[in-house]
Amino acid sequence: MIRVAFVGAGSVVFTRQLIHDLLSFPELDGLHLALHDIDPERLAVAESLARLTAERLGARPVVTAHPDRRAALEGADFVVNLVAVGGHAATLTDLDVPRAHGLRQTIGDTLGVGGVFRALRTFPLLDGLAADVRAVCPRAWLLNYTNPMAMNLQYLAAVAPDVRAVGLCHSVYWTVRGLCDLVGVPHEEVDFVSAGVNHQAWILRWEREGRSLYPLLDAAIEADPQLARRVRVDMYRRLGFYPTETSEHSAEYVPWYLRHAGEIERLRIPVRDYARISAENLAEYERVRDRLAAGEDPGPGEQEGAVEYAPQIVHSLVTGTPRVLQVTTANTGLIADLPDGAAVEVPATADRTGVRPHHVGALPPQLAALNRSFLGVVDLVVQAAVKGDRDHVRHALLCDPATAAALTVEEITALCDAMLGAHRDLLPEALR
């Protein structure tokens, strides 16, 4: 029996989608779904939703709930990591403390001050998770959804190179899907290649029957001036390739936009947007919890069709069905002009033999330059944790594009100290 363990299963909305997608494959009927969360209430809600999803699909999985993580991982073939260390409260800290120091952020989960400290409080969890995988399921594939993706995967490669880990994110899929809708081309008729780093990758090729679709995008932008009021459309027009993450995300990874009130207005950038998103996620969890407690059906919460990558990887590795999808993994010459060992996002083939990333070659130089700036911050954060060097946390913020564009050196230092204090109890021991 194939065993899929969910770590952080209390992220119930996302867990529910993944379970729905897994159980939508007839070949995966009979899976063992082992759910783990440190919050007993959230774990109970996740278990109820898993059973309800299975009932709706007519599937017959074994569903077990485990307060103890190692018990959930025992004998697992796949481990899906969904943990958000610190939850909603930590997210607000990531946004509010920098705001008090004069720094604007939108999402704060990937780069910048929010991304740096989300990584630092996640690394101890990754240490324990890697130790459990080694102990009770050493051949399992660790499928990580937790952000900041590049930092987490580069950290795992540094401290647990023997653990088979890949990072998964749906941003490329939905970017290509959205572009196809915009130009009126069926998504299933399109071929594309994307590469770079997670949340700052690029659509290098986007074709139908061998013809580039970028001219159709140019025409759509020309016909609708409001499209130009998006950060990533602005970046596309200047760089020549479309970025794979939303405008809210993309604004944070470059020094050009968030420091300028006029650019925020021109490009309609929703500052501090993740506070709203996080609050909505919490409200949705509470709604589902309360309806289940009242014996009421919370209603379907899944999108039809297996669009998430983790279920597709499980299906491909179990059945041998080949698929090409995007993964974050260590750069072993996959992208020639990005640093060796850095966490890069590239296409990969998944089948019965495993997950094999593709060699992409060199990126266009303007794209590689931006990615190297991004990865410089990633490397400093990983080095801070691996070496226990608090100075490297400050160095990471000094090198972060959006932070350095907005604050002076002394302001960055003060903000770093404030964040180290605010998150002290969740940080790696050596950084407290």
User: Which residues sit in the known binding site for Mn(2+)?
Assistant: 169, 199
* Structure-token pair, residue 54: 């299975």
Strand (E) or helix (H) holding 144:
strand 141-144
Q: How many CB atoms lie within 10 A of CB 229?
A: 15
User: Given 32, 170, 260, 358, which residue is catalytic?
Assistant: 170
Strand (E) or helix (H) holding 83:
none
Grouping H, G, I as helix, E, B as strand and the rest as coil, residue 47 is helix
Grouping H, G, I as helix, E, B as strand and the rest as coil, residue 65 is strand
Distances, alpha carbon 359 to alpha carbons 27, 71, 153, in Å: 31, 37, 18
Tallying the residues shown for the chain, one arrives at: 432
Long-range CB pairs of 414-418 (<8 Å, 24+ gap) are 414/101, 415/97, 415/98, 415/101, 415/103, 415/113, 418/97, 418/100, 418/101
Query: Would strands 200-208 and 211-212 be described as parallel, antiparallel, or unpaired?
Result: antiparallel
Q: How many CB atoms lie within 10 A of CB 239?
A: 16
Which among 228, 267, 274 is positioned nearest to 251, based on CA atoms? 267
Strands (E), 262-368: 323-330, 343-351, 354-357
Residues belonging to the binding site for substrate are 147
Residue with tokens 């050493």: 138
88 is catalytic: no
- Provide the β-strand partners of residue 202: 195, 243
Residues belonging to the binding site are 147, 169, 199
Look up residue 424 and give its DSSP letter. Answer: G
CB 235 within 8 A of CB 256: no
List, by residue number, the catalytic residues.
Answer: 170
